[in-house]
Structure 1
Amino acid sequence: MLHVFAVLAAALLFGTTGTARALGPDEASALSVGVVRSVVGGTALALLAFTLAAAHRRRAPERPRSTLTRRPFALMAVTGVALSLYQPLFFLGTQTNGVAVSTVIALGSAPVLAGILEWVLSRRAPSVLWMAATALAAIGVVLLGIGGGAGTGGVNGLGLAAAVGAGACFAVIANAQRRLLDAGWDAFTVVGAMGVGSAVVCAAVIPFVDVSWVVSSSGVAMASWLGFATIAAAYALFTWGLQGLTAATAATLTLAEPLTATILGVSALGETLSPLALVGLAILAAGLVTLAWGSRRTRDPRPFAVEA
């Protein structure tokens, strides 16, 4: 039961990301917020994850250690770069189309795109159930794109593309991490390496973006919450929880993330959803539930499901 609570807590923390950004300094750009979040959160996540990984190795010294050859190093680097790109794309989507709609689109497209990428890489055809769930999710995203928006019922094409791009970034992360886990790498080492890579990439960008907002009280609060809560704490909880859950349970619990984002977007930020967007949200939820139900099959990957 503790593993269930850990994944649920992580999903709730992830779901606050867009709202925390919306309540932060108005002058902060999507790129600068993503950069700061990755530097703060990636560094904290790496320190926490590597500490937990070392503790895990001390408790299980008989487990053989994986060797850091070129392929796992490249996969770890890919996860860091993908997480770095995810940040500004996600915040651009929420900035233009609102937290509720953009979060649902990003998180709804992620498992679909992850499945397509795995299909391309592994050459294994997906099941009929997966294709049906994917079709439902795609229809839901399209309806959200047509009827969604930050309160006007309209949608910004650039924001829609950014949200889907964020989902694509996570699809890359999920597939890379899947291969690292299958190769015997410890889950905390894998997520810690992602934190390091993301922090390094975004630290190199800091001289080229305006991060002056971070010295304000609201800037410090936003950067701290986004970094320590929605990356370091959330990823550590999520990674630990996944080790004791089935794919179906984990995937279902992560539905709390878009639900949280939607509730906060509507209640805390005053966003509205058109009737068409509500229909799209329901169809997308049906697709995600179908994906979760289908993931009970033993062939399914250990999920690093949908996070913001």
Structure 2
Amino acid sequence: MEILTDPFEVSFVFRALLAGSFTAVLCACVGTWVVLRGLSFFGDAMSHGMLPGVAVASLLGVNLMLGAAVSAVVMSFGVVVVSRATRLSRDVSIGLQFIVMLSLGVAIVSHSGSFAVDLTSFLFGDVLGVGSTDVLTIGIAALVGIVACVVMYRPFTALTFDPRKSQTLGLRPGFAHVAMLILVALATVASFQIVGTLLVFGLLIGPPATAVLLVRGIGRVMVLAAVLGVAQVYVGLLVSWYAETAAGATITLLGGLTFLAVLAVREVVCRVHPANANDNHVQ
């Protein structure tokens, strides 16, 4: 038992566990909609698109989350405007801004005297460096995200499965879409300090995708994804402590391995019991 608890008696590791758990819960709620709506590419692009804001904030000596938030809002607004102003598909719009924002971020960071160190920190995070204020900020972000998912549950569900019916029912699909993009931005901003801009995508997608393989129902997927995410953070911190590996990368690696393991077991079960091979549609 001491092996499982000793690392968390160290204050900065315990703060990392709290911050990581809050982040996992937020990403579980928002990531469920990302997976169901097929917004994975947007989530990936958003995680990279925060880099310019984070880099500028670092150079100016202001809070990194503030810079990330500004950058995320700019990218979300840009995606909506370009998609409406042109005939280009949403993926093309996202891809173009993804390239611009990532390149701009690297260009800004390159002016720093510690380019390699700064870029590594931005891309891969520093979960063990979060302070008490960061934990509080991430906790508030998680609470806001959970409340927003509850309040917007009906519009998000209608938008995900039947956009036309959403319009007919007066659920304002356009507003719901923008609200969902804002929630994705919130989740990525809250997560980047834990796992970095490159690995946010893993925490946002991994647990919800795994949960979709195991249970039916949006609510059940969110709850299971939150449980898986928190467990992933806990085990990841333990492994990184004893194996001396990068904490953020270890956390997201566990998420990917968990998904692959569940998928493999599910395929074996479906072959042995074909009756269980029905598509796992989330309702």
Which structure's residues are more often helix, by fraction? 2
- Do both proteins adopt the same fold according to a TM-score greater than 0.5, normalized to the shorter chain? no
Higher relative contact order (CA 8 A, sep 6+): 1
In the superposition, the TM-score normalised over structure 1's length comes to 0.30
